[in-house]
Structure 1
Amino acid sequence: MTPPLPVVELVRAGFAYEDGPPVFDGIDFAVPEGRAMALLGRNGSGKTTLMRLLSGGLRCARGALRVAGEEVTYDRKGLTRLRTTVQLVLQDPDDQLFAASVGQDVSFGPLNLGLPEDEVRLRVREALEALDIAALEDRPTHLLSYGQRKRAAIAGAVAMRPRVLILDEPTAGLDPHGQERLLEVLGRLRDAGTTVVMATHDVDLALRWADDAAVLSPAGLRTGPVEELLADDALLDAARLRRPWGMAVARLLREQGLLTDNTPGPRTAEELDTWSTRRTPRPTG
């Protein structure tokens, strides 16, 4: 059986900023549909450039960007097709929010597509409900909390109904409760069929959340199952990433004979607590 085409991919892509060295030189990167991918790498490794190339904010100097196997053209028609397939949400929501109210901001993209008014209203309502901020539709954007602004920015992207949602450090600046609420939202989007790519420095988050990882290091880009890549100490050293907490705990449990090689280990402190409670017999008498 022929494998499905990636939703979006860079093929032998090269890019350099003006008067600078190449950031990428012949890179291949494919985003498969229906998977959650963590994009990892140190500062300056090219994560932001890669995300902007995938979303059309930057244009390959050579090579190609393809959507469902078809090369993207950077005219109006081609960019419209790309932006209804791939949406990028920036790390700082204030770089994206500009309208007076949440509803106006979320409606901006669909309105630019020339959609009928009823369709725009439907998309806005669906996006706000998906991000659990329907009650904020008429709220001025400058009165939102930081977490609310994050979700409003994501809602604006979701209203375009993209097949791929790319998020730049979406949990940065959020407290633990805010992070968990956002991850629940992203989980619902995944369940509804949206492919999510998340750039993050948090290897623990990547391990617990992602199916696949893409790791940028001076040696280039490596992709694969998240557990496989985050268990590669040489790769993590090259990328200047620390070892995930869950990997270290699982390694220790296996060394102590408490976990078999084929059994996944706990990925969070809460999972470890649940695991240890199940293993420890309750005192009697």
Structure 2
Amino acid sequence: MVSDGSPVVELAGVSFAYEDGPPVLDGVDFVVPEGRALALLGRNGGGKTTLLRLLSGGLRCGSGRLRVAGEDVSYDRRGLTRLRTTVQLVVQDPDDQLFAASVGQDVSFGPMNLGLPEAEVRARVREALEALDITALEDRPTHLLSYGQRKRAAIAGAVAMRPRVLILDEPTAGLDPHGQERLLAVLDGLRASGTTVVMATHDVDLALRWADDAAVLVPGGLRTGPVAELLADSGLLATARLRQPWAAAVARLLRGRGLLGEAEPGPLTAEELDAWAGTGAMAAPEG
């Protein structure tokens, strides 16, 4: 996996099974390098959510080790506090995460639990609300929020902890296209400010245009690497029960007709394809 820095959080030889069940993960190595956007993909029920909960300390490894900045995590109060100031998980359904009467109260919960001074808590809440573009919702009761607003409020609660790694489980699920684009813009802003983002998704098109790297869960293991490389591997996608990304199929078609060079990146969205065609790039080669 290409990295801009050393691993910030990693699983080493990790196996996990729920009580009386078969292994969900078996001997998995998973590295999250700092400064990258990483998409975690796999079939439904393939272990994505379990992997994310292991990374965040919500589940304890059956065997193997969880490390932060190269050090093994201890599951006592001190160790978990250190982990949760480094790694924050936002679950798929915001209603499983939001519990306070108002948005501001909910976002302040994590920093207050750290025992921070009131002024510091207020600064973090303000910072998180601004980052998620929901400052106007600070006093809004959480039960009066739209679904997209609840998604962003849940993420704001994690951002207020100022984690080095933000983990999101299917963050675009249930959002309309406009809501998805707004959320992705927010994530781009967080990445620009230095937050490493890991996103579990089944949307291969989203993964291809958003992520730097990918991790694909397959029976018996995990494949990691540059997202464009992994999502061009038809055998891997078939094993993981994932479809081929639209952009990869378009690029293959264009290369087959001599309209795109082997080393040239193809358009990743319909808008990019339209713009690319408008430049005359799709003109048939002479001869």
Report the TM-score when normalising by structure 1: 0.96
Deviations 1:65-87 (A, max 9, x none): 00000000011110000000000
Partner of 2:77: 76
Q: Secondary structure at the match of 1:279?
A: coil
Contact 2:37 2:196 in 1 (8 A): yes
Give matches, 1:51-90, under 5 Å: 51-90=52-91
CA RMSD of aligned residues (A): 1.1
Partner of 1:182: 183
Shift, 1:262, TM fit: 1.2
- CA separation in 1, counterparts of 2:5 and 2:106? 35
Deviations 1:125-179 (A, max 9, x none): 0000000000100000011000000000000000000000000000000000000
Partner of 2:194: 193
Q: Secondary structure at the match of 2:13?
A: strand
One-letter code aligned to 2:205: D
Fraction of identical pairs, as percent: 81
Partner of 1:260: 261
User: Unpaired runs of 5+ in structure 1?
Assistant: none
Deviations 1:246-272 (A, max 9, x none): 000011111111111111000110110
- CA separation in 1, counterparts of 2:244 and 2:168? 23
- CA separation in 2, counterparts of 1:117 and 1:279? 59
- CA separation in 2, counterparts of 1:122 and 1:116? 10
- CA separation in 1, counterparts of 2:8 and 2:155? 20
Structure 1 window deviating more from structure 2 (3-12 vs 230-239): it is 3-12
- CA separation in 2, counterparts of 1:119 and 1:219? 45
Report the TM-score when normalising by structure 2: 0.96
Partner of 1:136: 137
The list of structure 1 runs, each at least 4 consecutive aligned residues, that deviate by more than 2 angstroms after superposition, is: none
Contact 2:26 2:220 in 1 (8 A): no
Contact 2:204 2:242 in 1 (8 A): yes
- CA separation in 1, counterparts of 2:243 and 2:259? 24
Q: Give the direction of change, closer, same or farther, for the CA distance of 1:38–1:280 in structure 2 (3 Å limit).
A: closer
User: Unpaired runs of 5+ in structure 2?
Assistant: 283-287
- CA separation in 1, counterparts of 2:199 and 2:276? 28
One-letter code aligned to 2:64: G
Deviations 1:215-271 (A, max 9, x none): 001141000000000000000000000000000001111111111111100011011
Partner of 2:216: 215
Partner of 1:231: 232
- CA separation in 2, counterparts of 1:225 and 1:280? 26
Deviations 1:14-39 (A, max 9, x none): 11110001112211100000000000
One-letter code aligned to 1:240: R
Deviations 1:84-139 (A, max 9, x none): 00000000000000000000000000000000000000000000000000010000
Shift, 1:5, TM fit: 3.0
Structure 1 window deviating more from structure 2 (3-12 vs 42-51): it is 3-12
Partner of 1:34: 35
- CA separation in 2, counterparts of 1:228 and 1:47? 20
Q: How many residue pairs were aligned?
A: 279
Give matches, 1:110-189, under 5 Å: 110-189=111-190
Q: Give the direction of change, closer, same or farther, for the CA distance of 1:218–1:280 in structure 2 (3 Å limit).
A: closer
- CA separation in 1, counterparts of 2:26 and 2:134? 42
Q: Give the direction of change, closer, same or farther, for the CA distance of 1:105–1:255 in structure 2 (3 Å limit).
A: same
Contact 2:26 2:221 in 1 (8 A): no
